[in-house]
Amino acid sequence: MGTVAVALRESRAARFWDSANGKKAVMAVTGAMMFGFVLLHMAGNLQIFEGPDQFNKYAQLLRTLPEALWAARLVLLAAVMAHTVAAVQLALRNRRARPVAYSKKEAIAATYASRTMYWSGPIVLAFVIYHLLHFTFGVTGVPDFIEGDVYHNVVNGFQNPIIAAWYVLAMLLLCLHLHHGISSMFQTLGIGHPRYTPWFKKAAALLAVVIFVGFISVPLSVVVGYVR
């Protein structure tokens, strides 16, 4: 009986994953997990304005909890992979369902964020990998990289206007992604309601703007010399 029960659970899980609604639910849950990480990461980044001692203390705190840090990284990586696979499979399914493109593409109901949802996510993922290589591991040309001196590495890295500009662009894509993703998450999880949906959309837009300003404030402050 135990083997049969396991097989039934696996079958239900497989059917859930194969369904469009299942993939959307996976995207909603994993998206919520990544949204939480983005907020925590932004809060950590903003500590750079408290000076090198506080910023390096925050970075050191993360390194003193390696088990928890790596567990969080693995969970986040699994969430990103599931989110990306579900998004790609949904896009391919939609394309197969409509193999002939419209003669005139209508974009009245679709926002720019929703139309770029499928490619902005992978672009941001690639940037996150580059960001880690650049500031955490120092393998992409940070001048005078100092192991453990995160404040120094961040400031030196963003003194390159090209790197700062790419960071701002990546954050713009991230926030466009979040704008659509947050509002879609409520609808997918059944939280949406005609009375409250406009408020959810406004809240999603406001959160996206706050996150965008919070993240880009760091490189812009370095470029203009406020953080040095």
- 160 domain-assigned: yes
- Asked if the structure places residue 126 within a domain, the reply is yes
Buried b (16+ CB within 10 A) or exposed e, 213-225: ebbbbbbbbbbee
**Residue 194, domain member (yes or no):** yes
pLDDT value of position 52:
92
Q: Tell me if 196 is assigned to some domain.
A: yes
Is residue 95 situated within a structural domain? no
Q: What is the pTM of this model?
A: 0.76
How far, in Å, CA of 76 to CA of 125, rounded?
12
Spatial distance between the Cα atoms of 160 and 175, rounded to a whole number of angstroms: 23
Distances (CA, A) of 101 to 98, 106, 117, 191: 7, 11, 19, 33
Mapped onto helix, strand or coil, the DSSP state of residue 134 is helix
Neighbouring C-beta atoms of residue 190, cutoff 10 Å: 9
Number of domains the chain contains = 1
Q: How far apart are CA 153 and CA 156, in angstroms?
A: 5
Give domain status of residue 190, yes or no. Answer: yes
Contact 179, 150 (CB under 8 A): no
**Does residue 18 lie in a domain region?**
no
Whether residue 63 lies inside any domain: the answer is yes
Residue 67's domain spans which residues?
Answer: 33-77+110-223
- pLDDT (0 to 100) of residue 15: 81
Residue 37 near residue 89, CB atoms below 8 Å: no
Give the mean pLDDT per block of 10 residues along the chain (228 residues).
54 78 81 84 91 88 77 81 80 71 46 53 66 65 73 86 86 82 69 72 87 94 92
Report angle CA 77, 82, 84 to the nearest 5 degrees: 95
Alpha carbon distance 80, 186 (integer Å): 19
